[in-house]
Structure formats: C-alpha cells, structure tokens
C-alpha cells in the first residue's frame, strides 16, 4: 500500500482529498494538522515521518489570501516559497516523491491565447510572485516531483467564488460581477480524484509541470450566470469591469491554462466545468461536506 502525506489537509484542496479518500483503498492517506506538520518548521516533518513513514507528499499547504498577501508578504513567502525549500531537502534525503500545486497567477495575463507550461511567468501580485518562487525552488530539486498549476478553484469547502455567489444570491436583489477577466474554473474534487487515479501512471512524472483546469474559458460573470441558472436564483446579475471593484492585489485579465500536455500524457478526458459545477452545487445543497 502506498502511504501519502497530504499537507494543508484543512484547506480547501486538502478537504477535497479527504472527502474522496475512501474511494482509494490502495492508498493510505495521512492528514495531520498544522500543529503536527508545519512545513515552515522542517523538524515537524521529520518527526512525523519517523512515526508514520510515507512514500510521497501531496502538498496542499499554501498561503492563498491574494489581497492580504500584499500586506503579509513575509507570510506568503514563508508558506509558498521558503517551505518548499524545506520539502526539497526532505524528499532528496528520504527519497520520497512530491506533488505540489501552483497557480495561474504566476502569469501576467497579457497574452491573447492560453498559457502553456513552458510560457514565461511574470506575476503581477505578491501571491503569484511567492508561488512562482516556490516553483523556482522546485526546479533545482533532484528528487522525483511534479507541479500542477490550476485556476479558479472551487469546491463545497472553504471560501471560493461558487459558495460566495450562492450565498449572495440569497441575500441580495442585485449582484455585480466582473466580465473582463478570463480563465478556466477547476473543481477541487475532480482535481484530487484525477491525481489519485493517475499517480501510478508510468508517465506521471515525465514532466515537472502540468496545467489542470476544466473545459472552455469563461469570465467570472458568465460563471456566475451558470451558478444562478443551476440554483434557480432570481437575483439580478450585472456585468461590470474590474474598475468597479478595485482590489489591493492586481489580477491577470487572462489566465487561461492550456491543458493539452496533461491530456495527452495521461490520456485524460477532463470534465467540463459546467458539469463539475452541477455536481459541486448538488453537494453543497445536500450538505455533503465534511
């Protein structure tokens, strides 16, 4: 049986792994709290390994508060960059593998097409910069590893666009949503399930970076429209530009991830985000969360 340490188990993506863990009885997944394994304190990782040896790490731990990162740069760097160096040193010594997650925000959004894995990174906010730094740390890692960049993550857990819009539809008569930012939504449970289904694929570690996002590109406004259609919301939805919602951190106008590499390498058929959204909202409405 393959034993896996999942860091950041109480975060949105970590909870997605927890909720499908029973589907994979041939994996033994550990979900220690941050009090037990804190990647900014490498000794905790070593201590946990001594008590429960594992074969690989799925690193869901990250600082993801995009606007707060502008004011808490040290926190973002500690979790998204410095802690990755601790992971690199650990996996090189212990000979275990590492699966890490990054973000579409490593790109500046200035191209008119979709971003491929090898395209130049040029983050425009502190969060994106800290995640890019983590990628650069991993680029010199001699241990077996790969990175999954993803975008517009949603799930029944934590704070995300789907849950926020669903909540606002019950509280507001009218909602404004930006229509000048384009990307691809990603259902966290589909991402977790895809990874666990394919981790033993002979070509899984052939590349050091993959893009995983779902379906065709959309805007936040069109995404919200689909949410409203599924839940039957009567709230009025108005499309506005990003200028109507000034934020502390800049957002890329185009962060569409090209997923051809992972589809070809792993022979994947990625579900559309529309299909995934229906399944996510059904879980939320049925309170099928943990």
How many Å apart are CA 221 and CA 225, to the nearest integer?
6
In a 3-state reduction of DSSP, which class is residue 283?
helix
Closest CA to 109 of 125, 95, 98, 96: 125
Closest CA to 177 of 191, 194, 165, 195: 165
> Among this protein's residues, is 49 annotated catalytic?
no
Residues sharing a CB contact under 8 Å with residue 152, sequence separation 6 or more, in sequence order: 104, 161, 183, 184, 185, 186, 213, 223
In the block, residue with structure tokens 């760097």: 77
Contact by Cβ (8 Å): 274, 215: yes
- The catalytically annotated residue of 63, 127, 187, 212 is 127
Please give the structure tokens belonging to residue 281. Answer: 């909202």
How many Å apart are CA 85 and CA 90, to the nearest integer?
9
Q: Which residues are catalytic?
A: 127
């Amino acid at each position: 049986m393959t034993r896996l340490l999942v860091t950041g188990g109480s975060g949105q993506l970590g909870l997605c792994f927890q909720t499908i863990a029973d589907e994979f009885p041939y994996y033994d997944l550990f979900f220690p709290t941050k009090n037990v394994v804190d990647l900014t304190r490498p000794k905790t990782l070593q201590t946990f390994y001594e008590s429960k040896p594992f074969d690989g790490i799925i690193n869901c731990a990250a600082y993801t508060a995009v606007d707060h990162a502008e004011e808490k740069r040290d926190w973002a760097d500690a979790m998204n960059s410095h802690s990755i160096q601790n992971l690199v040193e650990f996996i090189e010594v212990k000979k275990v593998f590492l699966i890490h997650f990054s973000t579409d925000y490593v790109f500046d959004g200035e191209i008119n097409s979709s971003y491929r894995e090898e395209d130049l990174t040029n983050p425009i906010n502190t969060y994106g910069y800290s995640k890019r730094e983590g990628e650069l740390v991993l680029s010199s890692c001699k241990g077996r590893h790969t990175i999954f960049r993803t975008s517009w993550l949603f799930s029944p857990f934590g704070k995300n666009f789907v849950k926020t819009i669903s909540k606002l539809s019950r509280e507001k008569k009218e909602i404004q949503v930006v229509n000048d930012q384009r990307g691809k939504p990603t259902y966290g449970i589909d991402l977790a399930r895809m990874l666990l289904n394919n981790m033993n694929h002979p070509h899984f570690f052939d590349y050091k970076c993959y893009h995983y996002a779902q379906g065709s590109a959309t805007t936040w406004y069109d995404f919200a429209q689909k949410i409203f259609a599924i839940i039957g919301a009567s709230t009025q939805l108005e499309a506005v530009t990003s200028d109507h919602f000034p934020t502390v951190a800049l957002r890329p106008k185009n962060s569409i991830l090209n997923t051809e590499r992972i589809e070809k390498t792993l022979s994947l058929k990625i579900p559309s985000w529309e299909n995934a959204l229906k399944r996510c909202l059904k879980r939320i409405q049925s309170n099928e969360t943990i």
